[in-house]
């Protein structure tokens, strides 16, 4: 009986340390507020391989801490399939824009 209690307490301690580590990592990885505009640039070309996963990961990060940053899909030659993926992402979320990669600097300076 004593061995079972030790195992249960060890598992609970490990879970507690894992939760504490996750909370600390969350604080470091996702600051609550920034002093100025922040952009996350996702380069995209061809059929937009990994575009949806990258943008949705950034949306999760933004929603997790209620942070405000703009996700910019930098179009570096998306084909029609890639443009369809980008268009679907634009309709699903706010704060996501598509910009040609050669105009990226102009877009950021304008905002």
Contact in structure between 47 and 81 (CB atoms under 8 Å): yes
Residue with the two structure tokens 């990994």: 50
Same domain membership, residue 60 and residue 26: no
Same domain membership, residue 21 and residue 43: no
Residue with the two structure tokens 């209690």: 5
Same domain membership, residue 83 and residue 104: yes
Q: How many domains does the chain have?
A: 2
Same domain membership, residue 91 and residue 57: yes
pLDDT at 52: 92
Enclosing domain of residue 10? 1-30
Q: Is the model's pTM score more than 0.75?
A: no
Please state, in angstroms and rounded to a whole number, the distance separating the CA atoms of residues 57 and 27: 17
Same domain membership, residue 39 and residue 20: no
Same domain membership, residue 54 and residue 2: no
Same domain membership, residue 87 and residue 37: yes
pLDDT tens, position by position, for the chain (111 residues)? 788 899 999 999 999 999 999 888 877 766 566 667 889 999 999 998 899 999 999 998 887 766 778 999 999 999 999 999 999 999 988 889 999 999 999 988 886
pLDDT at 17: 95
pLDDT at 68: 78
pLDDT at 37: 83
Same domain membership, residue 49 and residue 25: no
Same domain membership, residue 43 and residue 8: no
Same domain membership, residue 43 and residue 80: yes
Contacts with 44 (C-beta within 8 Å, 6 or more apart), sequence order: 51, 73, 74, 75, 76, 78, 82, 86
């Amino acid at each position: 009986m004593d061995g079972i209690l030790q195992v249960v307490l060890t598992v609970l301690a490990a879970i507690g340390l894992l939760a504490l580590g996750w909370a600390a990592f969350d604080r470091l990885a996702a600051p609550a507020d920034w002093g100025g505009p922040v952009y996350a640039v996702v380069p995209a070309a061809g059929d937009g391989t990994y575009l949806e996963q990258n943008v949705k990961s950034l949306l999760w990060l933004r929603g997790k801490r209620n942070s405000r940053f703009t996700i910019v899909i930098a179009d570096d030659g998306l084909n029609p399939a890639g443009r369809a993926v980008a268009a679907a992402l634009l309709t699903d979320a706010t704060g996501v824009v598509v910009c040609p990669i050669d105009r990226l600097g102009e877009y950021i300076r304008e905002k």
